[in-house]
A and B are shown apart, each in its own frame.
Chain A
Amino acid sequence: MEAPQDAVPYIDRTRTLYAKTKPYQWVRHDPASEPPAWTPIAKPLSALRIAVISSSGVHRKDQEPFHYRNDISSREIPLDTDPADLRLSHFGYDMTDARRDPGCVFPLRVLRGLAADGVIGGLVDPMVSFMGGIYSARLVRNQVATRMRDFVLRERADLAFLIPI
C-alpha cells in the first residue's frame, strides 16, 4: 500500500524533532509475515454496542493528570461526564485546539448523540483514555493492550473504536 502523497511524514519528522533524545521505536509489523488478526463484524452499525478507547491523554478535571514519559495508566470517563470537565495531558501533539474543545480528539458529545439517535447501537460506559506517548512497546503490549482487551471483553462490546494519538 503506497502512502498518500499528501500524508505528513510523522516518523521522519519525529526523528528530526527529537534528534537529541533516544529515538522513539515505532512498532512495525510485516504485512506478509505478521498480518493483523481479523474478526468479522456481524451486525449493522445501528446494532453495535461500541467501546471507545482514546490515547489523547484526556481525563476528568477531578482525576490525576497523566505524566509524560511511559505513563501506562488509564482513566475511565463516564458517559455522563460534562465535556467542560475534561482536561488533557500528553506531550506528543499540538493540543491547542483540543484544549479549547476536547471533542477534537475525544468525541464524547457526538458519540452520545449518535447513540441517542440510533445511528449506533450503544456505547460502553465508561469510555477509556490513556496517554499515547509510551516509549516502551513492551509495556504497551504486556500491560496496556491486555488491560484494554480485558475491558472490551468484560463489557461484551461488539466493536472497539480506537482513536490513537
Chain B
Amino acid sequence: MGLIAREIEAAGVPTVALVGAWDITRAALPPRAVYIHHPLGNQCGAPGDVEGQRAIVRSALETGIAIQGPGEIARLPFAWDDPGWEERAYTPEHTAVGPDGKPIRD
C-alpha cells in the first residue's frame, strides 16, 4: 500500500495509512502512517468491539492528519490485550488462513 499512498499523494490528495507492520511501512515509506501495536488483521480492533474500533479509527485519522512531515510513522496509544502476542504473530501456528480455515504454509 506504500506505493499506492505515494501515488495518490503525488497526485495532490493527502493520505493517511493505518498500519500494523512497522518494518514493512518503514521500508515502503508512505507519506503519513499511524502505527497500532496490534496483530495484522486487527488494525481496527477486536471482533464485536464497536466502541473500541471507533476509538481506534478516530484516533488514527486525528493523529494522521496532524503529522508534520513526509515519512513519519506516528504511534497510536492502544495495546493488544493478549500478552506475548508479538512472539506468536506470523509464526507457523499463527499465520495466514486459507479459505478452508487452515493455516497456509509452504
Chain A residues with a Cβ under 8 A of chain B: 1, 3-4, 6-14, 17-21, 26-29, 31, 34-41, 45, 48, 50-51, 53, 55, 65, 89-101, 103-107, 109-111, 113-114, 119-120, 132, 137, 140-141, 144-146, 148-149, 152-153, 157-165
Chain B residue at minimum C-beta to C-beta distance from A92: B96
Q: Does B77 contact A (CB under 8 A)?
A: no
Question: Are A110 and B50 closer than 8 Å at their CB atoms?
Answer: yes
**Cβ-neighbour of A11 out of B7, B24, B65, B98 (below 8 A):** B24
List the A residue with the shortest CB-CB distance to B87: A8
Is B44 touching A106 in the complex (CB atoms < 8 A)?
Answer: yes
Kindly list chain A residues whose C-beta atoms are within 8 Å of the C-beta of B14.
39-41, 158-160
Q: State the Cβ distance, B49 to closest chain A Cβ, in Å.
A: 8
Bound: A165/B96 CA distance, A = 11
Determine which of A3, A34, A103 lies in contact with B26 in the assembled complex, contact meaning CB atoms within 8 Å: A3
Nearest-Cβ distance from residue A51 to partner chain B, whole angstroms:
8
Query: How close is A1's CB to chain B, nearest CB, in angstroms?
Result: 6
Q: CB distance B4 to A27 under 8 Å?
A: no
Q: Which residues of A contact B12 (CB under 8 A)?
A: 39, 153
Number of B positions contacting A (CB below 8 A): 74
A-B contact pairs, 6 of them (CB 8 A): A1-B26, A29-B2, A104-B43, A105-B42, A149-B7, A153-B12
* Inter-chain contact A159/B44, CB cutoff 8 Å: no
Contact of A17 among B4, B29, B37, B105 (CB under 8 A): B105
Q: Which residue, A12, A145, A164, A165, has most C-beta atoms of chain B within 10 A?
A: A164
Note all chain A residues with C-beta closer than 8 A to B72: 1
Is the CB–CB distance between A3 and B23 below 8 Å?
A: yes
Instruction: Please encode chain B, from 23 to 34, with 1 for each CB lying within 8 Å of some chain A CB and 0 for all others.
Output: 111111111000
Contact with A along B1-17 (1 / 0, CB 8 A): 11111111111111111
Whole-angstrom distance between the Cβ of A14 and the nearest chain B Cβ: 7
7 further interface pairs, Cβ-Cβ under 8 Å (given A29-B29, A141-B3): A13-B91, A17-B91, A29-B6, A103-B44, A105-B44, A114-B58, A161-B60
